[in-house]
Amino acid sequence: MFAELRRKFDAVHWVFSGALGFCDAVRVGLLAASHGWVYLMKSGMIMDTQALAELMPWRGPGVFAIASQVCSIEAGKHREETGWRCMVFSDGMVEFRSAPPECPDSMRGTLYAGAGAALFQRRLLQSLLNRKLAAPVASYEDIEWGIVAWKNGYASLFCPRSKVSRHRPESTSAVPAEREAAIGWRINQCRFQLRNPLPGRSDWDFLKSADAGALLGAAKGRALPAAIVHRLRSLFYPWDASILEHASSAWILEPPAPAGGKPTVVMVVPFCLFPPIHGGAVRITRLLEELRNDYRFVLLTDEGESYSPIDRGYFRLLAGLHPITGRCESPSGTRPRIARIKSHSHKRLKNWLEWLLHFWNADLVQIEWMELAALLRHKPVRIPWVLTLHDVLLRETGDRLGREDRFELNLIRRYSAIITCCEEDAALLPGGIVRIVPNGMKADNIGYSPSSSEPAVLFMGSLRYKPNLHGIRLFLRCVYPCLRQRLPRLELWILGGTGEPELAAMTEEFHQVGVTVIDCVQDTRDWLKRCSLTINPLFATRGSCIKVLDSLSAGRVCISTRHGARGFHHAGLPQLKIVDTIEEFEPLLYDLLVRVDARHSVERPIPEHLARFAWRNAAGIQDRLYRELLRGRLP
């Protein structure tokens, strides 16, 4: 039967054997293989000519397997199997499903690589088979391989550009074949769950939901002791089952083990970063743009449900994106700042951070915002840890430190270095290695057209940020009504965040004539061009406001409180007008709105004044800190 094929492909090493089970067949193939990686493929599959070539760049020490995309010969036909796999729960029972690729050219994490069309690291696969970890029943072997690999720090990836086509229909590992009895499939499913702790569900939920007959069948003979041993062994894996829930959410944008020598920085943020629609997200994005040529950034981020493939343009700044969820409500009965840190620095985020440091072989960790400071459990030993404090909430120097201050300081002191946004914040820290990386602006944003002669005032800021909401409500109560009486055509535009027009509609101050709350706006330049000037009525805030520089670089006067102008008090910027009280806004606003020529004379941006606030300068400070830490020049 194979004689003609052997003559035609004489360079191929053929192995013949009698009837073998799945795992035994794989063992025989692995013993015959002579290279570090092996491709497993079911019969009935047709491999694209570039399928293997597309997989090769993504091999690495931390990669267990890379799955190809499984396509259908018939265009447009629904595919039961695609190669990209995740798990879902139905009434306590686990199901494994394939999903269509969200992006046809982007590498993703996958819960497991199906043995029907995937490249495996031979050494790791042999170790799993030699330890007899494969399930004693059909259909779940490759699933269990992938789960055990993730728990041991090895990822499975999905490469949609590597394509194989199914020549004839065949049951997948996640769907029972017609030839199997339904009860046999349920027994296999129960046996798998007995063997493997899974995230998000308790064993009690599983036991309550399982079919009693299937559960008894799954525990027959040696199956139950084997399941108990397998389950106990999982307690000693480096990572627990919480890693699995977001395994298929990862975006692997660069090979994990590149030939280049750029240091890898794992950055952790508590909020959705893309698109950058609030000041902190804008700051991080701009710094990434400036530093990405010299460093590889891997982003671990909470609020993973908010990320969308639509925002893939921003992903180019990263080597990897790992969006997760899992933040709970702040614990009750705890002081607000402490409760916020405890809820944001949650266990799932800690586990994923430790896993990423291992997988990406990180050189440096950067934690953004005080809310995540508890992710560092002890003083760093192997690599530097940097904490960026977007605002420092410690009490002013000389004041008695409260419990929240002491709690935060204890966390801050664990870090190799601290970054603040302004001198005022840096002065609140007791010592250690502190670098001021100021907020900035894009150099190409400096452009000017005279402001509108119509009285239109602009406020930029999410109303979910309490200082923004408090400040603009105070302005609407104390300043706007009087100003509107004197200037009947006055309008106030508020650029908020997603869904904030509805939020503002529940508050009386926003119902005044001429007040408009605008939903999320990514690019504020058009609104800055249309307005007369901007305001920043913030009190009791820390950090510094990027919106101040955005206004000045667009050639618009900004009237700000002293708190809102932190970081720019001594910058000598004529377009920035600083007041101490909310009452001082009215006369200054009236004068600048009425005296259009006088306003035009001061609003034009002076490139020499603003050049020092370019993001490249801020990035240069952060780059120097990185280099000093990586060279070991700082403790």
DSSP string, 207-270: HHHS-HHHHHHHTSTTHHHHHHHHHHHHTTSSS-GGGGGGGGG-EE-S-SS-SS---EEEEEES
Cis peptide before 275 (omega within 30 of 0): yes
Distance CA(519)–CA(462), nearest Å, equals 10
User: What is residue 374's predicted lDDT score, i.e. its pLDDT?
Assistant: 97
Distance CA(298)–CA(611), nearest Å, equals 30
Residues of the chain with pLDDT under 50: 170-177, 179-180
Distance CA(46)–CA(167), nearest Å, equals 7
What is the DSSP pairing of strand 45-47 with strand 107-109?
unpaired
Q: What are phi and psi of 451, to 5 degrees?
A: -70, 160
User: What is residue 490's predicted lDDT score, i.e. its pLDDT?
Assistant: 97
Distance CA(16)–CA(356), nearest Å, equals 42
Q: Which SS3 state, helix, strand or coil, does residue 441 take?
A: strand
Distance CA(438)–CA(422), nearest Å, equals 6
User: What is residue 414's predicted lDDT score, i.e. its pLDDT?
Assistant: 95
Q: Select the CATH number that applies to the domain covering 20-179 from these four: 3.90.850.10, 3.90.550.60, 1.10.10.10, 3.40.50.960.
A: 3.90.550.60
Q: Is 260 exposed, middle or buried (0-12, 13-18, 19+ CB in 10 A)?
A: exposed
Distance CA(351)–CA(407), nearest Å, equals 22
Q: Which helix (H) or strand (E) holds 555?
A: none
User: What is residue 154's predicted lDDT score, i.e. its pLDDT?
Assistant: 97
Q: Select the CATH number that applies to the domain covering 258-436 from these four: 3.40.630.30, 3.40.50.1820, 3.40.50.2000, 3.40.50.300.
A: 3.40.50.2000
Q: Which helix (H) or strand (E) holds 387?
A: strand 385-389
User: What is residue 208's predicted lDDT score, i.e. its pLDDT?
Assistant: 78
pLDDT in tens, 503-513: 888 899 999 99
**CB contact set of 180 (below 8 Å; sequence gap of 6+):** none
Q: Select the CATH number that applies to the domain covering 444-613 from these four: 3.30.300.30, 1.20.1050.10, 3.40.50.2000, 3.40.50.2300.
A: 3.40.50.2000
Q: Whose CA is closest to 335, among 413, 414, 401?
A: 401
Distance CA(516)–CA(294), nearest Å, equals 43
Say what the pTM is: 0.92
- Percentages helix, strand, coil for the chain (3-state, rounded to 5) are 40, 20, 45
User: What is residue 219's predicted lDDT score, i.e. its pLDDT?
Assistant: 82
Same fold flag, 20-179 and 258-436? no
For residue 370, give the DSSP letter: G
Where exactly are the structural domains of the chain? 20-179, 258-436, 444-613
pLDDT in tens, 146-190: 999 999 999 999 999 999 998 765 444 444 445 445 677 788 888
Q: Which helix (H) or strand (E) holds 365?
A: strand 364-368
User: What is residue 174's predicted lDDT score, i.e. its pLDDT?
Assistant: 46
User: What is residue 37's predicted lDDT score, i.e. its pLDDT?
Assistant: 97
